[in-house]
Structure 1
Amino acid sequence: MKKPFSKKSKPELPDKNEISNKEETSLTDSDYQRRKLFKKGINLMADEKLEEASLAFEQALRFDPNHVETLLKLGYARFHLDDHAEALRVYDRILDIDVTNAEAWNLKALVHYEQKNYSKALNSVEKAIESDPTYGMAWYNKACFLSLLSQIPESIDALKRSIEIDVKNARKAVKDKDFTNVRVEEGFRRIIEVVVLESIRQGYHTIGSIVWTTFLNKADTEESLRKLLEKGLIVKNEKREGLHKIPMYDLAPEIASKVGTEKKSLLGIKRKKLPGAVQNLKELSQAIQQVKASIEEEDVDKTLEIFDSFINTDKCGQQMIEQFFEEHREIRLWKIRLKDHGLDYIKDNKTKMLTMFDNIEVSVTKQLRNEIA
């Protein structure tokens, strides 16, 4: 399970003036203790100390019982401790505060899923989609639940919608056991073809490398390659190695010119020289500083502009997807809500936004130090 936040490095001891300032802050800022306990809970979650994290979140809620982000994290911790009843209670509490909270509905669906109550899971995830039709993971979960309920055409339709929102869901689906009921369907076979085609685009040209990177079995890979050849989407060549000829697959020239190609290393990471990696991290760090400043200033237009740099794959988007996938999804959602609600939304969610970017910044700074070292 991916950790929601990276662990903060241990800070240096402050001087006396800093201690004095902190004491003054704790006396004048009524929200200081809540924020302090919330960050403590996040750090404990990063260490997978979920019981201790739950306690920190519960203590934070004494200062603001209706703080939704704290409640979400408390529910998350209880869920991963297999305390399903408490997790559901927390998510219901969030929905009492905001019945349109898509994340709470989706997380509630996952609790029902773990309890193998797929009908209830489906009902909850549909509420998540009603609240946010662009929530790709909710569409993906809906597809899983429909498959488990043997509602095959509906499952395929939901999965296609999730892939339209985020193409990475295609690769996830091909190895997801929840789709056992739909694997023989033609619609699912086409999704496998999309995964194979994307693998070739990324620079994997042999059957072995495609199997390795997609987790497909060899038979499914060969069948998809045959279909793609018939459709004229790829071309086949041969490469001689000793006495053997190895089949090689490439995008058809007209397809390659439209979608581009991308070279990757064995583990699927873009090949970069060290200076390039450092430069990318510096650009991401700079964008984080800029967006924190714009959020603090409650500058809606500037924040929307910088959000785009975290989403756009020509800027920092690809790095966000590879390293901060959940956060990337959150920023996409914030951008939509910010466009709809403007200044009120940034005021209501300022603390939540700043906390997330603080945690990303900690991780980026640590990576930057390692690269330079």
Structure 2
Amino acid sequence: MGRFFGGNEDERPSDVQERQNFTDTDFQKRDLYKKGVNHMSNDKMLDAIRSFELALRLDPQYVDAWVKKGYAHFHLGEYTVAVAAYDKALEIDVNNADAWNLKGLAYYKMKNYEKAIECCEKAIDINPNDGMSWYNKACYMTLTGKVDEGLEALKRSIEIDIQNARKAVKDRDFENARAEEGFRRIIEVVVLESIRQGYDYVGKIVWVTGIDKVEVEDAIMRLSMKGLLTRREKRNITGMEEYYELTKEIADKVGSTKKVGLLGRKEVSAPMQQLKDISDVLGRAREAVEKGDLEATKKCFDELINPAKHGSAMIEQFFDEHRDLRLAQIRLRDKGQEYLNANKSVLSDMISKIDMKVRQGPVSKPAKD
């Protein structure tokens, strides 16, 4: 009969000891790994490397330790050693997207952009929803003169994470692309979003985005010509000063920032008309999904995701739902009709839940300063 508290009466002492040794080793390697990560956070890279190497002595197949060891060497400028560590990780787990992406970053530092691109493409094949891999690929493509392909990759990264737009406009790797119409539109999106959040002076926009003043002024001029911005003047100590507001039409669509209370606290909220428009798009999206119309579905999702359309309001009011739509859109683009046909009920249910939340009415949220 077996023991009351588990175990096997036929189990040999040597088996028990072996299991205990395995448990102890597993604990020790994880403890060493955690110490290494803590050393990295304190910028003690040599100490971190020693901790990871000790963990790898206990378990040479410890993929996370190989990856972190590579990253520590990367921070020391030892890019060839870093690549070797990532290769060790990939020998064990060839589908480790982080290892591929970081390996590409090391090649980028060595100015081997072609190999960096190859690594990014491997990472994207494994995880198409990794915005950073798309962003890095955009950088490397642009640096090799493949500007159009670079901008396409950048757009994908922004679809996954809108913060990549703000990052891109001050990234020197995109110098070759700055004169391109596609990149200028990205700058416009960032400037428009900054004004929407209450940074309504040129100086404030430059400060909060890091974009060159000339480019900010150019974007403002273009946005004004498109009827999206209105120039205003306000008197201050030194005289009249220019500032900018969203036109009523665009403010009704994407919401705007206003100061409330004696302390001038900022609040961002989507107007009722904006929510009605979003609900209408969701209705069209649900109908397109049920019909199996791939192009119409993607078009509706784009209206809900794109910051120049309803994307900004979705991010402010329904961040999680915006993320779900974005990921679904990426899968629709990657897998097409096959994905739509296989996931009609899932997508329709997701849309219905979002629509229900939208119909509950506007949600006022404090703006980020």
Same fold per superposition (TM over 0.5):
yes
- Supply the distance in 2 between the matched residues of 1:84 and 1:98 (Cα, whole angstroms): 21
- Supply the distance in 1 between the matched residues of 2:258 and 2:51 (Cα, whole angstroms): 45
Give the drift of 1:256.
2.6
* Partner-residue secondary structure (3-state), 1:249: strand
- Supply the distance in 2 between the matched residues of 1:193 and 1:178 (Cα, whole angstroms): 19
Root-mean-square deviation (Å): 2.7
Give the drift of 1:149.
0.5
C-alpha offsets along residues 262-296 of structure 1, whole Å, 9 cap, x if unaligned? 579xxxxx979xxxxxxxxxxxxxxxxxxxxxxxx
Amino acid at match of 2:189: V
Name the CA shift for 1:118/1:67 in 2 (closer, same or farther; >3 Å): same
Give the drift of 1:218.
1.7
Aligned residues, how many? Answer: 252
Cross-structure match for 1:161: 156
The alignment status of 1:55 with 2:45, answered yes or no, reads no
2:67 alignment partner, one of 66, 72, 81: 72
Cross-structure match for 1:202: 197
- Supply the distance in 1 between the matched residues of 2:141 and 2:23 (Cα, whole angstroms): 52
Any residues of structure 2 matched to 1:25-174 within 5 Å, and which? Answer: 29-174=24-169
* Partner-residue secondary structure (3-state), 1:150: coil
The alignment status of 1:248 with 2:243, answered yes or no, reads yes
- Supply the distance in 2 between the matched residues of 1:193 and 1:71 (Cα, whole angstroms): 41
The alignment status of 1:186 with 2:181, answered yes or no, reads yes
Any residues of structure 2 matched to 1:284-295 within 5 Å, and which? Answer: none
- Supply the distance in 1 between the matched residues of 2:319 and 2:150 (Cα, whole angstroms): 33
Give the drift of 1:252.
2.3
- Supply the distance in 2 between the matched residues of 1:271 and 1:27 (Cα, whole angstroms): 56
- Supply the distance in 2 between the matched residues of 1:260 and 1:34 (Cα, whole angstroms): 51
CA contact (8 A) 2:32 2:52 kept: yes
- Supply the distance in 2 between the matched residues of 1:231 and 1:114 (Cα, whole angstroms): 40
C-alpha offsets along residues 137-180 of structure 1, whole Å, 9 cap, x if unaligned? 11111111111111111111111111111111111111111111
Give the drift of 1:261.
3.4
Amino acid at match of 1:169: N
Cross-structure match for 1:8: none
Amino acid at match of 1:136: G
- Supply the distance in 2 between the matched residues of 1:191 and 1:139 (Cα, whole angstroms): 16
* Partner-residue secondary structure (3-state), 2:211: coil
Tell me the TM-score normalised to structure 2 length.
Answer: 0.63
Larger Rg over CA atoms: 2
- Supply the distance in 1 between the matched residues of 2:266 and 2:55 (Cα, whole angstroms): 44
- The percent identity for this pair of structures is 51
Q: Which has the higher contact order (CA 8 A, sep 6+)?
A: 1
* Partner-residue secondary structure (3-state), 1:62: helix
The alignment status of 1:224 with 2:219, answered yes or no, reads yes
C-alpha offsets along residues 67-105 of structure 1, whole Å, 9 cap, x if unaligned? 222221111101111222221111111112222211111
Name the CA shift for 1:262/1:59 in 2 (closer, same or farther; >3 Å): farther
CA contact (8 A) 1:103 1:128 kept: yes
CA contact (8 A) 2:64 2:89 kept: no
Name the CA shift for 1:136/1:26 in 2 (closer, same or farther; >3 Å): same
Name the CA shift for 1:198/1:50 in 2 (closer, same or farther; >3 Å): same
User: Which deviates more, 202-211 or 238-247?
Assistant: 238-247
Amino acid at match of 2:142: S
Amino acid at match of 1:94: A
Q: Which runs of 5 or more residues in structure 1 are unaligned?
A: 1-24, 265-269, 273-311, 318-327, 337-373
C-alpha offsets along residues 320-358 of structure 1, whole Å, 9 cap, x if unaligned? xxxxxxxx9xxx9xxx9xxxxxxxxxxxxxxxxxxxxxx
- Supply the distance in 1 between the matched residues of 2:223 and 2:46 (Cα, whole angstroms): 50
- Supply the distance in 2 between the matched residues of 1:36 and 1:79 (Cα, whole angstroms): 22
- Supply the distance in 2 between the matched residues of 1:88 and 1:243 (Cα, whole angstroms): 57
Any residues of structure 2 matched to 1:261-300 within 5 Å, and which? Answer: 261-262=256-257
Give the drift of 1:315.
9.5
* Partner-residue secondary structure (3-state), 1:31: helix
Name the CA shift for 1:313/1:224 in 2 (closer, same or farther; >3 Å): closer
Tell me the TM-score normalised to structure 1 length.
Answer: 0.62
Any residues of structure 2 matched to 1:357-372 within 5 Å, and which? Answer: none
CA contact (8 A) 1:26 1:33 kept: no
- Supply the distance in 1 between the matched residues of 2:146 and 2:73 (Cα, whole angstroms): 31
- Supply the distance in 2 between the matched residues of 1:219 and 1:186 (Cα, whole angstroms): 16
- Supply the distance in 2 between the matched residues of 1:83 and 1:46 (Cα, whole angstroms): 18
- Supply the distance in 1 between the matched residues of 2:234 and 2:102 (Cα, whole angstroms): 49
Give the drift of 1:28.
5.3
Give the drift of 1:257.
3.4
- Supply the distance in 2 between the matched residues of 1:144 and 1:162 (Cα, whole angstroms): 11
Amino acid at match of 1:34: K
- Supply the distance in 2 between the matched residues of 1:28 and 1:132 (Cα, whole angstroms): 32
